[in-house]
Amino acid sequence: MPNRKKVMFVFGTRPEAIKMAPVVNECRKFPEFLETLVVVTGQHRQMLDQVLRIFKIEPDYDLGIMEANQTLTSIVTKTLTGVEEIILNERPDILLVQGDTSTAFAAGLSAFYYKVPLGHIEAGLRTFDKWQPYPEEINRKLLTSLADLHFPPTTISLEHLLAEKVSRETICLTGNTVIDALLDVAGRKYDLAQTGIKLTPGKKLILVTTHRRENWGGPLRGICSAVKTIAERFHDQVEVVLPVHKNPTVANVVNELLGSLPNVFLTEPLEYEPFIHLMKASYLVLTDSGGVQEEAPSLGKPVLVLRDKTERPEAVAAGTVKLVGANEELIVNETTKLLVDKSEYDKMQRAVNPYGDGRAASRTIYFLLKYFGSADSNPEEFNA
Ligand code: UD1
Ligand code: UDP
């Protein structure tokens, strides 16, 4: 098949894997035109492997770069060296990266060094603050400079790219592939008893996740103290589940401050399927995660974001997500309001889908087919 183009996917962390999986699986539907090559850096080891299992993806290459307490420099240098060798072996026609991790940035830089065209999925997100989130805001800005094709999820992210003079012909507004993954997994049958977490029927479940680098130290302690206060104040009404991120800097603080409360369940990172089904069962979500901010609105769950700034303003504008930062008092007050004031809760509890319609992967691959001359027209874009 002389015209078959080789598409090399590179990713390394849990959220990249979740958001890349639908695109990898879509790419595999066109074997006559596209050859799919999956490279994982293994920036995350256990948390990446969990996702690969759920979506049945077997990588062609695994760089296995993770070290305990790794530095940004270590991730970037090991990825650069590892991806270089694969590019030289495989001579891909395009390299695809997702989001804003150090894996994505370094793989994008490798592509540039070898003049391999680069496609950037989830392009154009911005807070316009170099330190929030750190280092992701700069990673994604650098990726915009490096990329040849840009796949923004929303109109706002598209506008950021246009403001940076990215040419419109190189952009396809797709929606976020996380919604493709979410709809797939949320539609599967799952019995929460399998998680081993013994939830009490009738109690309100608060789902919490936290890991952001800029929250390490004092802010993370503030978040944990707030969770503790809420759990104690509403001990007869509320249960908290907090799957603890594998990062020891996070895990040590969370275990120390929340490890001995009867209604706070600390768990290992959950597989994507149980996690989404817990989110479906929850009353409220507290998170500093990017992906969770996109998924919860789709499931109609109010979110309090444990950050001062977000690159995902769409659900804030829709009124289902509120920024509360890592300030202990504010987190406690806003959570209390949602627990005791039904009208406040009802205002935030609406299913909205500003981030996607489940067809982002299909648009992405169709745009690639057009780019390679195997389709006549561009796909219809996402209409938020
Ligand atoms: C990384 C990304 C961040 C993303 C987050 C998703 C960068 C700089 N950061 O942050 O953008 O939001 O992933 O979760 O790219 N660890 C394990 N097992 C795992 C995963 C992590 O043991 O499966 C531990 C290791 O000790 C590792 C540490 O966590 O060194 C930190 O991992 P790292 O990928 O550097 O940072 P994250 O905070 O996870
Ligand atoms: N997630 C998961 N198990 C968990 C916690 C989160 O599968 O225990 C999923 C979540 O649904 C979302 C993604 O992981 O799709 C978010 O990853 P993370 O918060 O680590 O990174 P971010 O999105 O902030 O980059």
What are the pLDDT digits (tens) for 225-268?
Answer: 999 999 999 999 999 999 999 999 999 999 999 999 999 999 99
- Average pLDDT of the chain is 97
Residue 47: CB within 6 Å of ligand 1? yes
DSSP 297-364: HHTT--EEESSS--S--HHHHHTSEEE-TT-HHHHHHHHHHHHH-HHHHHHH-----TT--S-HHHHH
| Two tokens, residue 291 | 């992906």
pLDDT band at 119 (very low <50, low <70, confident <90, very high): very high
Checking if the pLDDT of 109 tops 90, the result is yes
Residues noted as catalytic: 100, 122, 136, 211, 213, 245
Of all ligands present, the nearest one to the C-alpha of 301 is 2
How much distance in Å is there from the Cα of 116 to the middle of ligand 2? Answer: 30
Compute the average pLDDT of residues 151-168: 98
**Residue 109 CB contacts under 8 Å (≥ 6 apart), including other chains:** 76, 80, 142, 146
How much distance in Å is there from the Cα of 263 to the middle of ligand 1? Answer: 27
Checking if the pLDDT of 89 tops 70, the result is yes
Checking if the pLDDT of 200 tops 70, the result is yes
Residue 44: CB within 6 Å of ligand 1? yes
Report the nearest atom of ligand 1 relative to the CA of 71. 35
Residue 230 neighbours by CB distance under 10 Å:
23
Checking if the pLDDT of 384 tops 90, the result is no
**At what angle are helices 328-340 and 218-233 packed, to 10 degrees?**
30
Of all ligands present, the nearest one to the C-alpha of 216 is 1
- Map tokens 């996702």 to a residue: 51
Checking if the pLDDT of 69 tops 70, the result is yes
How much distance in Å is there from the Cα of 245 to the middle of ligand 2? Answer: 9
Compute the average pLDDT of residues 315-339: 97
pLDDT band at 351 (very low <50, low <70, confident <90, very high): confident
pLDDT above 90 coverage of the chain, percent: 98
Contact indicator for 119, 146 with CB cutoff of 8 Å: no
Residue 36: CB within 6 Å of ligand 2? no
The reported pLDDT for the residue numbered 2 is 59
pLDDT band at 1 (very low <50, low <70, confident <90, very high): low
The reported pLDDT for the residue numbered 131 is 97
> Which of 66, 67, 76 gets mutated to test ligand 1 (max ligand atoms within 8 A of its CB)?
66
Contact indicator for 133, 114 with CB cutoff of 8 Å: no
Compute the average pLDDT of residues 73-97: 98
Checking if the pLDDT of 325 tops 90, the result is yes
Residue 363: CB within 6 Å of ligand 1? no
Distance CA 286, CA 113 (A): 40
Residue 70: CB within 6 Å of ligand 1? yes
The reported pLDDT for the residue numbered 193 is 92
Nearest CA to ligand 2 atom 14: 15
Count of helices and strands (H, E) across the chain: 15, 12
- Map tokens 């420099």 to a residue: 73
Compute the average pLDDT of residues 266-278: 97
What domains appear along the chain, each with residue ranges and CATH number?
Answer: 5-176+356-371 (3.40.50.2000), 193-349 (3.40.50.2000)
Compute the average pLDDT of residues 217-232: 98
Contact indicator for 342, 4 with CB cutoff of 8 Å: no
Nearest one of 252, 253, 251, 254 to 240, comparing CA atoms: 254
Checking if the pLDDT of 370 tops 70, the result is yes
Distance CA 182, CA 359 (A): 12
Strand 204-209 to 264-267 pairing: unpaired
Nearest CA to ligand 1 atom 2: 101
Checking if the pLDDT of 75 tops 80, the result is yes
pLDDT band at 175 (very low <50, low <70, confident <90, very high): very high
